Amino acid sequence: MAKRKTEKEKEVEKVLRVTLVRSPIGYSLRQKNTVRALGLRKMHQTVEHLDSPTLRGMLAKVRHLVFVEE
């Protein structure tokens, strides 16, 4: 059963800033779809996401195309 987060844990959640620094043109469709799923559409666009294992996995697959700030 999933453990509920306390108020203290909720306010400490990390926010990651992800910026698209290389074009996904020329890469596989799967990588292009991952970049789109991250909410990145244009070069040098930055989006913020809450840190999660799912997000970390997506970033690992396109780490050569994005810049991540914690």
User: Where exactly are the structural domains of the chain?
Assistant: 21-69
User: In which element (H, E) is residue 35 found?
Assistant: helix 29-37
pLDDT at 13: 85
Q: Are 58 and 37 in contact (CB under 8 A)?
A: yes
Counting other chains too, the contacts that 36-42 makes at CB distance below 8 Å and 24 or more residues apart are: 38/62, 38/66, 40/66
- Kindly tell me if the per-residue pLDDT of 4 is higher than 90: no
When pLDDT is cut at 50, 70 and 90, the band that residue 8 belongs to is: low
**HSE toward the beta carbon, residue 2, CA cutoff 13 A:** 3
pLDDT tens per residue, range 10-68: 667 899 999 999 999 999 999 999 999 999 999 999 999 999 999 999 999 999 999 99
CA-CA distance, 63 to 65, in Å (whole number)?
Answer: 5
The CATH code that applies to domain 21-69 is 3.30.1390.20
pLDDT at 11: 64
